[in-house]
Structure 1
């Protein structure tokens, strides 16, 4: 269920995440607002792969490297500093205020909260080569199999009724589409709304 929308309040304390229940759902407006900038999406991707809390400097360097499409070792001091300052002053406090991360500004630590998992379905993988989408290939496979089946029916091999071939195509695509929807959690989202 989608929760009530919260707006960013200037007077909200940096530790506001402590008062936000981790099970409370973010509204779609909040989700889109939080994910509107590439830097915040990169922060969440990095934290998703981290085992524990991370140092702000380490996080800023990796985000800067992704932005510059280079390695951390090849970053200039200015590139590191620009990202560090924007994370320190803007992006991490915003994520902390919404209960997505625990951000200890004084010690320079950042840690995702359980609430961050609500944003994971909205994050695309960092690059297509790291996590290829297999669904287009599965649909293509279903098309090829159905095409071969229909060709066999047309050539006289197998059942001669055209209706049987149509049902085979329909069932094949229903299976692939259902598997796709199940794997992406679309059924869960549909049933809970």
Structure 2
């Protein structure tokens, strides 16, 4: 495989060189990947396109990203929230992704679709959820804390009669179990 070589332009910015003689631009430079991912809106564009089966409309993309940013549904967005994201995508982020060959952006039609280069971002986006998706683990840990609190209150109130050392071991075992399951599930999610 070849890499996309970078050349320094006179304005100090990196620009992709022309494809190799065989036309291959199949691998992005790690610096390009990190540069693209440093902006949340570009990460959101890649995340949205990852789930799309066909070209998406700029309006739909902008609305969903605005909804994620403001933690509301698309229906509850204000026109100014939509417009700020739309303009930012239209003028900056989508042209940058298009110039790098990561997306195919048709300004005239207002459509965007990912290219094969976009798949190189998947390992970096795995585990990064959109703001509207919730991570269940904080709730599971909070549930464990609540159960332990009720259990210890029952012991202190004389409702449950077991030694404090046994109660302490049970609490530690519960948290060890929750943490082990959490670590295992994260490991399974990060596997290719």
Query: Which TM-score bucket, shorter chain as reference?
Result: 0.5 to 0.7
Counterpart residue number, 2:34: 32
1:130 to partner: Cα distance = 6.2
Distance 1:139 1:95, change over 3 A: same
Listed as ranges, the matches of 1:32-181 within 5 Å are: 32-123=34-125, 124-127=127-130, 129=134, 140=180, 180=187
Structure 2: distance between partners of 1:49 and 1:90: 22
- Runs of 4+ off more than 4 Å: 7-11, 18-23, 136-139, 180-183
Q: Does the aligned pair in 1 maintain the 2:3–2:25 contact within 8 Å? A: no
Structure 1: distance between partners of 2:42 and 2:9: 18
Q: Does the aligned pair in 2 maintain the 1:2–1:27 contact within 8 Å? A: no
In the superposition, the TM-score normalised over structure 2's length comes to: 0.61
In the superposition, the TM-score normalised over structure 1's length comes to: 0.61
Q: Does the aligned pair in 2 maintain the 1:64–1:80 contact within 8 Å? A: yes
Secondary structure at 2:101's aligned position in 1? coil
Structure 1: distance between partners of 2:87 and 2:68: 16
Counterpart residue number, 2:6: 6
Distance 1:110 1:2, change over 3 A: same
1:97 to partner: Cα distance = 0.7
Higher relative contact order (CA 8 A, sep 6+): 1
Structure 2: distance between partners of 1:92 and 1:10: 23
Question: Please, which runs of 5 or more residues in structure 2 have no aligned partner?
Answer: 138-175
Structure 2: distance between partners of 1:89 and 1:120: 25
Question: Please, which runs of 5 or more residues in structure 1 have no aligned partner?
Answer: 144-175, 186-193
Distance 1:126 1:181, change over 3 A: closer
Count residues with an aligned counterpart.
Answer: 143
RMSD: 3.7
Once the two structures are overlaid, the 10-residue window that deviates more, 121-130 or 80-89, is 121-130
